[in-house]
Amino acid sequence: MRKEILFSREMIAKRVQEVARRISADYTGRELIVIGILKGSFIFMADLIRAMNIPCRVDFARAASYGAGQESAGRVIMTKDIETSIKGKDILVVEDIVDTGTTLSYLVEWLKERSPQSLKVCAFLDKRKRRKVAFEADYVCFTIEDGFVVGYGLDFNEQARFLPEVYVLEKQ
Ligand code: 5GP
């Protein structure tokens, strides 16, 4: 796996702090439930909630849209449901990447059927130019062009999640 560094630990930590500060300001005095989308968001979510200065509860869902390669399967299957009732609650969905937009637009509708009071999305990375389905995240740490990225929770065939930096894979 040949790869080049894209974001260092320092760049990530600084940007996550900034976004966490904005979220904290937006939700001051409210009861926030943060829903992480497995598996890619787990490291980002852990850093994000620790950088926020408001309390929150956490839960997780799992959406499978990518197979074992780099291309989206174009359809979404929820393979793990949340275990918390979100009716009437303020919800922040934390996702690793918005790419074609397929996963998040499906997921948001899926959660909205349960009538939360509000629902916003925070994504670590936004690949705006690859959208096939219109979708805007409310909070984004970094916007990137094309390229397949790994590290900081993001994998390629289950490899490289543990890396503290973000790398872009070199085209073969
Ligand atoms: P979308 O449904 O927006 O096309 O795809 C979203 C999902 O595809 C992300 O949550 C992520 O799991 C996966 N994905 C998209 N681009 C990348 C990438 O560059 N690297 C990795 N590791 N996963 C990606």
Rg (CA), the chain: 15
* Selected catalytic residue, list 99, 126, 138, 146: 99
Give the mean pLDDT of the chain: 94
The pLDDT value given to residue 165:
98
Q: Which atom of ligand 1 is nearest to the CA of 154?
A: 22
97 lines ligand 1 (CB under 6 A): yes
In 3D space, the residue among 135, 129, 159, 150 whose CA is nearest the CA of residue 4 turns out to be 150
For 113, residues 6+ apart whose C-beta sits below 8 A from its C-beta are none
Strand-by-strand arrangement of the 56-66 sheet = 72-80, 56-66, 32-38, 90-98, 118-126, 139-143
The pLDDT value given to residue 1:
85
- Domain 8-145, CATH: 3.40.50.2020
What would the pLDDT profile of 44-83 be if each residue is shown by its tens digit? 999 999 999 999 999 999 998 755 455 566 678 899 999 9
Q: Catalytic: 99?
A: yes
What would the pLDDT profile of 92-131 be if each residue is shown by its tens digit? 999 999 999 999 999 999 999 999 999 999 999 999 999 9
Q: What is the pTM of this model?
A: 0.95
User: Which residue carries 């094309």 as its tokens?
Assistant: 146
- Cβ atoms of 88 and 60 closer than 8 Å: no
